[in-house]
Structure 1
Amino acid sequence: MNNRLIQISGFLISSLGWVFVMCTLAMDNWRVAQIGGEGGSFIIKVAWQWSNLWKDCFTDSASITNCRYFPVIWRITPYLQGVQGLLLGGITLGFFGVVLCFVGMECTYIGGADKTKDKVLFAGAVFHCAGGVSDVSGYCLYYNSIVRTTFTQTAGQGILRYELGPPIFVGLVGCLFILLGAVLYTVTVYQVICPESEVVYAHGGGTYMTPRSRGSAYYRPPRLHESYMSSRRSSSSKSSKLSQTTPTKISERDAFV
Structure 2
Amino acid sequence: MDPIVEVVALILGFIGWIMVGVALPNRYWKVSSVDGNVITTSTIYENLWMSCATDSTGVHNCREFPSLLALNGYIQASRALMITSILLGTFGLVGALIGIKCSKAGGENYVLKGRIAGTAGVLFILQEGLCTMISVSWYAFNITQDFFDPFFPGTKYEIGEGLYIGWCSAVLAIAGGVCLSCSCKAGTQEKYPLRYERGTAYSGAAPSRSAATSTYGRNAYV
Same fold flag (TM > 0.5)? yes
Change (3 A) 1:104 1:88: same
2:76 maps to what in 1? 81
The structural deviation recorded for 1:43 is 6.9
Q: Determine what percentage of the aligned residue pairs are the same residue.
A: 24
2:59 aligns with one of 57, 64, 89: 64
Distance 1:194 1:73 in 2: 48
Q: SS in structure 2 opposite 1:57?
A: strand
1:114 corresponds to = 110
Write the deviation string for residues 151-200 of structure 1: whole angstroms up to 9, x where unpaired. Answer: 012213xx11101111111110111110111111123333x24549999x
Shift of 1:108: 1.1
What residue identity is the alignment partner of 1:123?
A: T
Question: SS of the residue aligned with 1:50?
Answer: strand
CA distance in 2, matches of 1:17, 1:81: 22
Distance 1:108 1:43, change over 3 A: closer
Kept after mapping to 1: 8 A contact 2:89/2:123: yes
Q: Which has the higher helix share?
A: 1
Does 1:173 pair with 2:168? yes
| Cα deviation, residue 34, structure 1 | 0.9
Q: In 2, Cα distance between the equivalents of 1:45 and 1:66? A: 14
**TM-score, normalised via structure 1 length:** 0.69
- The unaligned stretches of length 5 or more in structure 2 are 197-222
Instruction: Tell me which of 139, 143, 155 is aligned to 1:142.
Output: 139
Take 1:87 and 1:183, find their aligned partners in 2: how far apart are those partners? 20
Amino acid at match of 1:76: L
Deviation at 1:92, TM superposition (A): 1.2
Is 2:179 aligned against 1:184? yes
Amino acid at match of 2:94: V
Summarize deviations over 1:92-126 as a string: whole Å, max 9, x none.
Answer: 11111110111111111121411111111111111
- Give the corresponding residue for 1:248: none
Higher relative contact order (CA 8 A, sep 6+): 2
How many residue pairs are counted as aligned between the two chains? 194
